[in-house]
């Protein structure tokens, strides 16, 4: 089993991440690509961009939560996992969170990918400030 988790300030390169988990022993690669959308239940209008802010310990925390999710979901160490969450200013369409899981079979890849996404979303201290078309903004994730 190998895994890598990162908080990034630069745009996420999906092609490079795919190459990281690819290999001849992996028959399945499950991918989650979270991108900035133009709407949100917490926004009163159209979302035009957002700013992700992270706690100074977010790099350590993402490492810990991904490690725990991988250990729980892949006790035999068969998968390769990469999880990257971007922070900073993002426009609609930019990639915010990417998780890739490669394994010999699809069930492990799909299940572990979901587990890692949920662990990152619920366990890493990252907050989102959504900017709306009318100039207003909304914060979300402040309870983390």
The tens digit of pLDDT for each residue in 13-71 reads 999 999 999 889 999 999 999 999 999 888 888 999 999 999 999 999 999 999 999 99
Question: With pLDDT > 70 as the criterion, what percentage of the chain qualifies?
Answer: 97
Instruction: Give all domains of the chain, ordered by start, each with its CATH number.
Output: 2-140 (3.90.1170.40)
Q: What is the pLDDT of residue 52?
A: 97
The tens digit of pLDDT for each residue in 3-13 reads 999 999 999 99
Whether the pLDDT of residue 143 is over 70: the answer is no
Return the HEC string of 74-118.
CCCCCCEEEEEEECEEEECCCEEEEEEEEECCHHHHHHHHHHHHH
Predicted TM-score of the model (pTM): 0.94
* Whole-number Å distance between alpha carbons of 48 and 67: 34
């Amino acid at each position: 089993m190998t895994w890598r988790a990162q908080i990034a300030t630069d745009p996420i390169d999906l092609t490079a991440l795919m190459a990281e988990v690819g290999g001849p022993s992996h028959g399945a690669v499950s991918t989650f690509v979270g991108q900035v959308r133009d709407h949100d239940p917490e926004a009163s209008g159209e979302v035009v961009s957002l700013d992700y802010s992270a706690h100074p310990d977010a790099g350590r925390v993402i490492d810990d939560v991904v490690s725990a999710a991988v250990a729980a979901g892949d006790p035999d160490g068969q998968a390769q996992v990469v999880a990257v969450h971007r922070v900073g200013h993002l426009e609609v369409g930019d990639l915010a969170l990417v998780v890739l899981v490669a394994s010999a079979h699809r069930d492990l890849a799909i299940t572990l990918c979901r587990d890692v996404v949920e662990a990152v979303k619920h366990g890493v201290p990252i907050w989102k400030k959504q900017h709306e078309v009318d100039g207003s903004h909304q914060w979300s994730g402040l309870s983390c």
